[in-house]
């Protein structure tokens, strides 16, 4: 089982809006000792969204999806989730109550006539795949929904991010900090990637649960003086029990190859 995120919206693919969900979701997972395994961007095209969800529903992954759960003609995610599961869309009774309460608030506290075309359309925001449960929305009451280890939230960060946190803390608390994963790296100067590739392979062979990584750079003075020269950001990541041993092995290997090493500056919190 891994964690994934699907970010839906033509506005992201066209550049009209910059995606903020991916870095925030990584942050939310990291604060709980979890990590993101994959991410996908999908435009507002029903066939593609449905195919994507059909594939992810068939996996064991925990998947979050942002965007497309409103009730305008360009919102398709609710319908696609139902189609991918082969179940009908039904108005969730609890969602109906929440939408009524929100409509009453927007009506200045007066009882709204939910039979009007506008309010009937608004009720469709509570139509979810049969069997879905609700994700509470503290911003405006209009809920998201969960079904089959998938969790669907709006595209608006002010709504989506607290809803993501609620899901992580309500449904996946036993996984928090269960398998603490660490990352250790060093800036390497004077070596080419081809020289360190065998070292990386030998570390992964010696420590099967550890992954080695190599991020070469031609130099980036904007990041600071230490990054100005050509270098490789070389490191390992894995479980806390073995990552320090693997990193010590990595440093010994770089030294044996004649590379120069500098610890990277601490990241801002």
* 77 contacts: CB under 8 Å, gap ≥ 6: 8, 49, 65, 67, 68, 69, 152
Q: What's the pLDDT at 239?
A: 84
| Residue linked to tokens 């009908």 | 88
Mean pLDDT split into 10-residue runs, the chain, 269 residues:
95 94 96 94 97 97 96 92 97 94 86 85 91 96 96 96 98 87 93 95 96 94 89 92 95 97 77
- For residue 1, what pLDDT is reported? 79
Write down the residue that tokens 């010994």 correspond to: 252
pLDDT at 234: 97
User: Given this model, what pLDDT does residue 220 score?
Assistant: 87
d(CA 154, CA 175): 25
Contact 7, 22 (CB under 8 A): yes
How many Cβ atoms sit within 10 Å of the Cβ of residue 85?
19
pTM more than 0.85: no
Q: Residue 75 in 3-state DSSP?
A: coil
CATH of domain 181-262: 3.30.70
Whether 3-175 and 181-262 share one fold: the answer is: no
Q: 3-175, superfamily in CATH?
A: MoaB/Mog-like domain (3.40.980.10)
231-239: strand order across its sheet: 211-217, 231-239, 181-189, 260-262
Distances (CA, A) of 216 to 70, 183, 232, 252, 263: 43, 17, 4, 19, 15
Write the CA distances from 247 to 30, 187, 220, 252, integer angstroms.
21, 13, 24, 9
- What pLDDT sits at residue 269? 43
Going from N- to C-terminal start, the domains of the chain cover 3-175, 181-262
Q: Are 105 and 113 spatial neighbours (Cβ–Cβ below 8 Å)?
A: no
């Amino acid at each position: 089982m891994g964690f994934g995120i699907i970010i839906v919206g033509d506005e992201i693919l066209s550049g009209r809006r910059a995606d903020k969900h991916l870095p925030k979701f990584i942050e939310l997972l990291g604060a709980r000792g979890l990590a993101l395994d994959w991410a996908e961007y999908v435009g507002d095209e029903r066939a593609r969204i449905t195919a994507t969800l059909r594939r992810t529903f068939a996996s064991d992954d925990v998947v979050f999806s942002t965007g497309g759960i409103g009730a305008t003609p360009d919102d398709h995610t609710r319908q696609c989730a139902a189609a991918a599961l082969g179940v009908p869309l039904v108005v969730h009774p609890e969602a109906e109550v929440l939408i009524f309460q929100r409509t009453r608030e927007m009506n200045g506290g007066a009882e709204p006539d939910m039979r009007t075309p506008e309010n009937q359309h608004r009720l469709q925001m509570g139509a979810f795949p049969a069997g879905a449960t609700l994700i509470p929305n503290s911003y405006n009451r209009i809920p998201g929904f969960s079904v089959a280890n998938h969790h669907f939230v709006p595209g608006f960060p002010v709504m989506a991010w607290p809803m993501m946190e609620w899901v992580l803390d309500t449904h996946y608390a036993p996984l928090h900090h269960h398998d603490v994963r660490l990352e250790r790296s060093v800036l390497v100067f004077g070596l080419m990637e081809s020289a360190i590739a065998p070292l990386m392979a030998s570390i992964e062979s010696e420590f099967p649960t550890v992954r080695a990584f190599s991020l070469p750079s031609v130099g980036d003075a904007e990041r600071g003086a230490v990054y100005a020269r050509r270098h490789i950001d070389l490191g390992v990541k894995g479980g806390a029990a073995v990552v320090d041993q693997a990193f010590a092995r990595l440093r010994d290997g770089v030294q044996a190859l004649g590379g120069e090493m500098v610890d990277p500056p601490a990241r801002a919190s």
